[in-house]
Amino acid sequence: MAKRIKLAADIGGTFTDIVLESGEKRWSGKVLTTTAAPELGVIEGIRLVLGQSGIRPEDVDVFIHGTTLATNALIERKGAVTAFITTEGFRDILEQGYEKRFDHYDLMIDRSLPLVPRTRRYEVKERLSADGDVLVPLDEFALAGLAERLIAENVKAVAIGFLHAYAHDAHERRVREVLEAALPKDVTICISSEVAPEIREFERFSTTAANAYVRPLMAGYLHRLRDELKAMKLSAPLFLMMSGGGLTTLETAARFPIRLVESGPAGGAILASEIAGECALPEVLSFDMGGTTAKICLLTDGEPERSRKFEIARAYRDMKGSGIPVRIPVIEMVEIGAGGGSIARVDRLSRITVGPDSAGSTPGPVCYGRGGVEPAVTDANLALGKIDPAYFAGGKIALDEAGAKAALQKNIGDRLGLKDFWPAAGVTEIVEENMANAARVHAIERGRDIAACTMIAFGGGAPLHACRLAEKVGVSRIIVPRGAGVGSAIGFLRAPVAYEITKSAVVSLETFDAARVNTLLEGMTRDARAVVEPALGGAKPLIHIIADCRYVGQGHEIRVAVPLRTLTNRDGVKVKAEFERLYEQVYGLRIPNQEAEAITWSVTVSSRPVKAHPARKLAAKLAPKSRSRRTIYDPALGKQVSAPVYWRFDMTPGSRIKGPAIIAEDETSTIVGANFSASINSLGYIVLERVS
């Protein structure tokens, strides 16, 4: 059987990572992200790895892509001119939000402004009840005048969200039909009953507005990328990574681009999931640090936590409720502005601060020599000897070590009276404490013991900081996989083709209506299979069904697995029993004699996972001779030390060394702290273990 040749591209804020696999062989590369035209960086990276491998573009079998383009457009407010049309009386839902303050004690609080200003939010006379009864007929006559106003405003995207449309969408569909006939063909129209058919108007409307806001941009980008690929004779099927950890087609991604907002980090979580299975790790802390952000995710038995809600563009870092909420399937993780490009400063209280803003790829850190003047985390790592200036990104980017040290001294050292390596040490200590604090809070909020986890570190920056982060949070074992510097892109190649459909339908678990639920789930399963099965080549898909359940009167739900079969009325008792078990696990109690209900139903159809190859135990053996030595700062010792530098691929399975040391490779370097040993396991992964 011929080997499948798979290609993946992950666009980050600083670097675009490319990975090419053919059987057991892998080629990878990093290029600077071309922010103005991201597809150009992708094409440059593809040419790079194809040149390394000698593989022709036409021989590639599948191409998988993840991008931060939608996220950046929402954060930077660079989407389309968008209008919002809603039921009369609900024009200000996008602004009212949850009608509560996310910070009770900040009198000068700033909220994220709605994506659609009030002047472009329009009301239409119509009203359907939750049961589908027409309370106020749709005023179609007013739509003609509304279309004229949209044209005059040069609107390029329209979001439609009516009350109770999650259950009854006739009015939304009719308004879309009328506007499609009246507006120019380049105007995109999104309806909430397709984008997020769930209860809770604010989140449904917000998600629909965000989808409309980025759809022209994303559809244009994806189609330009497709054309560039065709021009270089790369005609393989193109799949997009979604925030929930599955792959979807270009057509679906262009229609629902809001599902791509966390596509890059999701690839990292998929990689961590595979490694957890290979190494039999019950509890995992996934640590992904790139050029712009650091992402931390918790996994249990190889499965990352998942959610149906995510916040974009928070006005206050790490402050829940300060961003734009969207209802999409997403892998639960915490993301902070702590990457290689995160800028270091001294604030008014003479404290070193790092991030959340990043130098990105343009101008980049000072050491890139592209015009940056403020020092970043990469400058600090370079000044501390953790990075080889002559072999950064595989030698493709020469680094200015003297410039980095001068910027750190001027912007940090001179203001705090620090000299030598101490300004750089201060920067790395602060960024590592920021990440450690985020990890602690994330674990505490979920009732998890972070010290019981094994850390899996990947991304260009994570192996540089993993040992110090592990010391801070109490983790005693770290795994750095092969290709760690392009870990998320490798995760794309492991992701299943998958699609999730969610709909709200309130069903009592006490008087369970199995016929109604079966009809609902059959339709959802059919629609999800229609998206996934064309990409499976006849293979049988995997189907998961989840019900979001709560006690009657509560405002939040717990996700409960539903049996994959035709349900009977007796299944209501079984679903309630599982709900109460999970409820007690989370909250420590059950509420006796309290009725429960299912609010929202989710169906996920996916390809079947590939069986993991488990790691084998190996006898320890001596490591190869180091290639050189470099002076680095070891925070555990509090001083600079001379550390041996090993080339990762000189170290064969079973090789073992003691820290402090450096294990170098093309896309990153692993810093082995003085309190750690490092070995290579049977899969070629670096295993760092704390020593007494």
Residue 336 or residue 212, greater confidence: 212
Most confident of 69-83, 113-127, 601-615: 113-127
Phi, psi (degrees; rounded to nearest 5) at 322: -95, 0
| Mean per-residue pLDDT over the chain, rounded | 90
As to burial, measured by CB atoms within 10 angstroms (0-12 exposed, 13-18 middle, 19+ buried), residue 390 is exposed
pLDDT number for residue 686: 95
Q: Which amino acid is at 60?
A: V
Task: Name the 3-class secondary structure at 33.
Answer: coil
DSSP summary character for residue 99: S
What is the SS3 string spanning 158-213?
EEEECCCCCCCCHHHHHHHHHHHHHCCCCCEEEEHHHHCCCCCHHHHHHHHHHHHH
Residues 398-408 have pLDDT tens digits of: 899 999 999 99
2 pLDDT above the threshold of 60: no
CB-CB contact of 171 with 138 (8 Å): yes
Residues 218, 159: Cα–Cα separation, whole Å: 16
pLDDT number for residue 3: 64
Residue 359 or residue 6, greater confidence: 6
Residues 172-209 have pLDDT tens digits of: 999 999 999 999 999 999 999 999 998 889 999 999 99
Residues near 541 by beta carbon (within 8 Å), at least 6 away in sequence: 529, 532, 533, 605, 606, 607, 608
Radius of gyration of the chain (CA): 26
Average pLDDT over residues 255-265: 90
| Beta bridge partner(s), residue 12 | none
Residues 219-248 have pLDDT tens digits of: 999 999 999 999 999 998 899 999 988 888
Average pLDDT over residues 524-528: 93
114 pLDDT above the threshold of 80: yes
249 pLDDT above the threshold of 90: no
Residues near 517 by beta carbon (within 8 Å), at least 6 away in sequence: 505, 507, 567, 598, 601
Residues 430, 417: Cα–Cα separation, whole Å: 17
pLDDT number for residue 318: 63
Average pLDDT over residues 559-566: 94
Average pLDDT over residues 279-304: 90
Residues 70, 68: Cα–Cα separation, whole Å: 6
pLDDT number for residue 445: 81
pLDDT number for residue 299: 93
| Token reading at 280 | 């039999």
Residues 150-179 have pLDDT tens digits of: 999 999 999 999 999 998 999 999 999 999
Residues 84, 62: Cα–Cα separation, whole Å: 38
pTM of the model: 0.87
Average pLDDT over residues 67-82: 86
Task: Name the 3-class secondary structure at 380.
Answer: helix
What's the angle, vertex CA 497, arms to CA 270 and CA 205, rounded to 5? 85
| Beta bridge partner(s), residue 671 | 662
1 pLDDT above the threshold of 50: no
Average pLDDT over residues 92-115: 85
Give the closest residue to 480 by CA, choosing from 283, 678, 294: 678
Q: What percentage of the chain exceeds 90 in pLDDT?
A: 65
| Beta bridge partner(s), residue 454 | 284
619 pLDDT above the threshold of 80: no
Element (H, E) at 356: strand 352-358
Residue in the structure block whose two tokens are 């679903």 = 575
